[in-house]
Amino acid sequence: MMRGLSFPHLTLLLHVQAVSARWIAAALALTAVIWLAVLAGLLALAHRVHDDVPALLAVKLPLLASRPELIFAGESRTVYQVDPNLAAQLIGKPPGSAVNIGYDAGEPLAVEAAMHRLPDRFRNAHVVISVAPFLFNEGVRSATVYPQDVAARLGVTELMRSFLPLRVGTLIRFIREAFVARLAADQNVAELGAQPTAFGLHIIDRTQPDDRWPADIGSHAHYAHWDISGPKARFEIGALCGMVALTRKLTVVIPPWAARYDRARDSEWRDKDDQYVTLVTEAGRRCGFDVLNIPSIPGLEQGNYADEMHVNASGVPIYTRYLVSRLKR
């Protein structure tokens, strides 16, 4: 077809193609600018409406109406591993004396905010909060576990610089969760919501297939791009320190990983874990909270684990009994 075109026609065609390409590029650039402007506006609005008590925590707070003596809080290894009804029995108290207000990817900043919102419910309680590496490691930026209250403390520009273009999902989640948290706060779910079942415990009733288990922990996503010197560590450690004056006693728990993994043979895991444990332990000495580091639990075997982090139903009583036995009351 090109051979049949005269030189002037060919020149005109090339000129049209060049102009079209420039228009397309300009349209794409304008679309990108508009999209970034809209995203920045939504992030700014999310900052304005954000509430530090997320909806996932707010729905657990009606449990505090019983004025419990023992409050288990934190991330998923509290949610799925601590049986508060059994814990109450072990300390010789009636049901409701211990509750589980943990939630997936739960962060200290959110628990501290709950303490400020309902100070009389925490003031005379022993709060036991679990933590995980992703709460302090700047290298973990995935939407599912990035601490929302940390995100709320970063400016819009810093958020966009940190998460675009590859982690836009983290920004979208922050926007969504900000509005959901505001709705829960406006509806006073923390005090007027329905009572959760089983005093807050959720059980994982299945075990992950063998081909889904990571080969080691040192290369686990929670330890990726290891850096515990950034805003995550600063804000979350600050929240742990802030809780000390708001409760009768605070214990920070570092739970174990599945029994199949050996720290002695995984130097990458051991080195990173030692840094993380040291970070929390030194904060405990400085601020006045206990730290309970649990590398392993006698009797908690591989068959009691649902995945590399969480026990299954058979492991819940073993974990709960051991944890309660180690608490200094």
The 10s digit of each residue's pLDDT in 30-88 is 677 788 899 999 999 999 999 999 999 999 999 999 999 999 999 999 999 999 999 99
- Residue % of the chain over a pLDDT of 70: 93
Q: What is the mean pLDDT of residues 241-249?
A: 98
Output the six-digit token pair for 112: 């501290």
User: Which domains are delineated in the chain?
Assistant: 51-146+194-326 (3.40.50.1110)
- According to the model, what pLDDT value does residue 24 have? 76
- Listing DSSP states for 87-112 in one string gives HHHHTT--TTSEEE---TT--HHHHH
Alpha-carbon torsion (87, 91, 95, 101), positive or negative? negative
Reply yes or no on whether the pLDDT at 263 is more than 50. yes
- According to the model, what pLDDT value does residue 14 have? 64
- According to the model, what pLDDT value does residue 1 have? 45
115-125 burial, b at 16+ Cβ within 10 Å, e below that, comes to: bebbeebbeeb
Reply yes or no on whether the pLDDT at 245 is more than 90. yes
- According to the model, what pLDDT value does residue 329 have? 61
- According to the model, what pLDDT value does residue 27 have? 72
Reply yes or no on whether the pLDDT at 7 is more than 70. no
Q: Cis (ω within 30 of 0) for the bond into 95? A: no
Output the six-digit token pair for 285: 């000495």
Could you read off the pLDDT of 212-221 as tens digits, one per residue?
999 999 999 9
Q: How confident is the model at residue 3 (pLDDT cuts 50, 70, 90)?
A: low
Q: Could you give the C-alpha distances from 264 to 224, 269, 326, in angstroms and in order?
A: 19, 9, 24
Could you read off the pLDDT of 115-134 as tens digits, one per residue?
999 999 999 999 999 999 99
d(CA 132, CA 285): 19
